[in-house]
Amino acid sequence: MNEEQNMMQSIQNVRELAYQSKQLLKETDRIMEKNGYEPLRGTRVYAKWNDNLNERYQENRSFLPPFMARYYILSDGPADKNRVTIFGITVQLYHASLPDLPPLFIGGRIEMDHVPGYDREIESHWLKAALLDREHRGDFTYDETFYKSSRVVEKEDLHNVTAEVMATSLLSIQSVEEIERFMTLMLTSWQSTK
């Protein structure tokens, strides 16, 4: 492979990665819909993206988004008047300050105070932050199948945000059945206390 072919294949790989990641998130939408949840923001993903020329190489916001996320609420609206439960999924392609981190498929439950317009307060990074970001990270464990982190409080602590997350290597997700298995585990772990 010469340099030009190398570059072309690299670009093709990135396009494929982005396309399949979106296909994956469509599957998670379908699975959550079957379980009575609807996605926030319609068909738009939560992502941090940067089109500024002054982007630094090790910046969280990049031309290639480090992650893309979807958040879900109960279709019938929150069951609890005081707290809102939101399920989330994040495809974490890379982390600027964790260069050895493999791409991850992250799922979890977020809880926050039920304030008016709570859906507009949700931040795209909450789920991945609970697992990966130093300042928010909970008790991080890895048991060969899943990375797990429990009970994390959002730094700004605006609305008493807590998160419980689990993750697996993105490469281990190669079929719709594997997505379903992960999502089922996520929902059964945390749905009962919604």
List contacts with other proteins (CB under 8 A).
Answer: 1, 3, 6-7, 9-10, 12-13, 16-17, 20, 23-24, 26-27, 29-30, 33, 38-39, 43, 56-58, 170-171, 173-176, 179
Choose between 17 and 74: whose C-beta lies nearer to other proteins.
17
Residues 55/65, Cβ–Cβ less than 8 Å: no
CB of 89 to other proteins, least distance (A): 13
Choose between 7 and 158: whose C-beta lies nearer to other proteins.
7
Choose between 30 and 83: whose C-beta lies nearer to other proteins.
30
* Alpha-carbon dihedral sign for residues 191, 119, 25, 27: positive
Q: What is the Cα–Cα distance from 161 to 150, expressed in whole angstroms?
A: 13
Q: Which residues have CB under 8 Å from 64's CB, separation 6+?
A: 14, 93
Choose between 83 and 101: whose C-beta lies nearer to other proteins.
101
C-alpha distances (whole Å) from 140 to each of 145, 174, 186 are 13, 25, 17
CB of 83 to other proteins, least distance (A): 25
